[in-house]
Structure 1
Amino acid sequence: MSLRHALLGLLVDRPASGYDLMKLFDDSLANVWPATQSQMYGELGRMAAAGLVDVSAEGPRRRKEYTLTDQGLAELREWMSEPERPQPRRSRLLLKVFFLNVATAEQARSLFGNRAALAASEHERLAGIRDELDREVGALSTNGRIALEYGLRLAAMEKEWAEWAAGQVGGTPPAAEGDAPHGDRDTPSPTPRPSDGGRT
């Protein structure tokens, strides 16, 4: 339901058309909650049916302008007051980390090197957005800077972690190509050392 609340929030200050909302969404909220055009227009229709917004004007080419209702504002405020709950997370990268022993050291270092490069690129992209926000005014820009700082710090942390992880590679050698992962009964046991009679 967060897309619904995002659209309600964008309508707090003034009415807007679906096109205007899509552009505003892409320039701001899409960085934290991506949505397609079809998802957005579908949600606007459901919001109108639920009484959260009114279609305040209709123009050419079926262009509709939406206005936030008192019910919609109450819904947004109730959502804002709800405590955050833990969200399940999945990470393809961290899943791979558990099985580094089946990769070569070069492959493992490449895995972390790519992640560090991606994180650096994301940090650079977000820094560019920060420069744009610094030239803008309004609640959305001011609050957006707080959200943006989260992304900048996260990207910096991911880069630092990936570089550190790359330096850990090699401490535990990867499984040899001929090793049997589950144990091979035909593999001979190491030759026992002769007994020294218990002397040390």
Structure 2
Amino acid sequence: MSLKHAILGFLSYRPMSGYDLKKAFDGSVQHFWPADQSQIYRTLAQAAAEGLVERAADGDGPRDRHTYYLTDAGRAELRRWLTTPLPPTDDREPFLIQVFFAANLDREDALAIIERQREMIRGQLAMFRQVYEGAMAGRARAPSPEAFFYSMLTLEYVLSLGPAYLRWLDLAADRIGRGDYTPAGLADLLSGGQL
């Protein structure tokens, strides 16, 4: 996904300043697509140069903030991007590289790798729960019921994967702790059963 298309998406809801866009990112998609202020301003300038957005003639507010509007060309580009299949992603996961080579460690150090990941995932799930609850509380401010629904699907995704990930980590820790190095059965993995 490109930051440009995320910005076009936000501007499809309403005109915003760079500051407003940063708040929109932080309050909605930060859990899977964070953006810093300087990236947003650079991308806005690029999108304006491409004719995808227009900047209001005068800044408003105490810091002379400029509001950006989505152009017809920007709407068409957003639609084109939304309907185009995405290329495969390069899913690198450093944690899994550590697990892959954990046979080089003693049992306690291998368990420590799993425990660190469990704590991180628990923390992320707690944060996603808060984001979900905050989003539900702000439901009335959503641009439309459809926009709210699709934005909540992204949170449902991470909230549904988190518990399964924690179960896998719990079971891995249990097996390592017992010294059970037997691989799980494929049928158990595919059914979500106990390993």
TM bracket, shorter-chain basis: 0.7 to 0.9
**Structure 2: unaligned runs, 5 residues or longer:** 182-195
For residue 68 of structure 1, what is the aligned residue in structure 2? 70
1:38 match: 38
Structure 1 position 148 matched with structure 2 position 155 = yes
**Which residue number in structure 2 is paired with residue 87 of structure 1?**
89
Runs of 4+ in 1 over 4 A off after TM superposition: none
The TM-score normalised by the length of structure 2 is 0.82
Alpha-carbon distance in structure 1 between the residues aligned to 2:36 and 2:24: 13
Tell me how far apart the structure 2 counterparts of residues 30 and 98 of structure 1 sit (CA, whole Å).
29
Q: Alpha-carbon deviation of 1:86? A: 1.9
Of Structure 1 and Structure 2, which has the larger fraction of its residues in helix?
Answer: 2
Match of residue 191 from structure 2: none
In structure 1, how many angstroms separate the alpha carbons of the residues matched to 2:119 and 2:29? Answer: 24
Kindly name which structure, 1 or 2, has the bigger radius of gyration based on alpha carbons: 1
| Counterparts of 2:68 and 2:120, CA distance in 1 | 38
Alpha-carbon offset, residue 142 of structure 1: 2.5
1:108 Cα offset (Å): 1.1
| 1:175 alignment partner in structure 2 | none
Identify the match of residue 99 of structure 2 among 83, 97, 111: 97
- Secondary structure of the 2:114 match is helix
Q: Is the CA contact (8 Å cut-off) linking 1:117 and 1:159 kept in structure 2?
A: no
Residue 15 (1) aligns with residue 15 (2)? yes
**How many residues are matched?**
172
- Percent identity reads 37
Aligned-residue Cα RMSD (Å) equals 1.6
TM-score by length of 1: 0.80
